[in-house]
Amino acid sequence: MKFENGVLNKGSIDFKALFDIIQAIFTAIKNFLFRNYRNKDSETYADE
């Protein structure tokens, strides 16, 4: 029982860590795309 609970708890912790990592990667990608979009926008304004 204790062993199963330990495995279950560890799985929950790993899932939370995995979710945090995915969220961090998603945020980084969003910031990267947003920065590229702003750079393109600035270049467009510069051309005009």
DSSP letter string, 4-48: HHHHHHHHHHHHHHHHHHHHHHHHHHHHHHHHHHHHHHHHHHHH-
Predicted TM-score (pTM) of the model is: 0.48
Mean pLDDT of the chain: 74
Q: Can you give the pLDDT at residue 35?
A: 86
pLDDT given at position 2: 54
Tell me: the pLDDT tens digits for 1-48?
Answer: 455 555 555 656 677 888 899 999 999 999 999 888 777 766 655 555
At residue 11, the pLDDT reads: 58
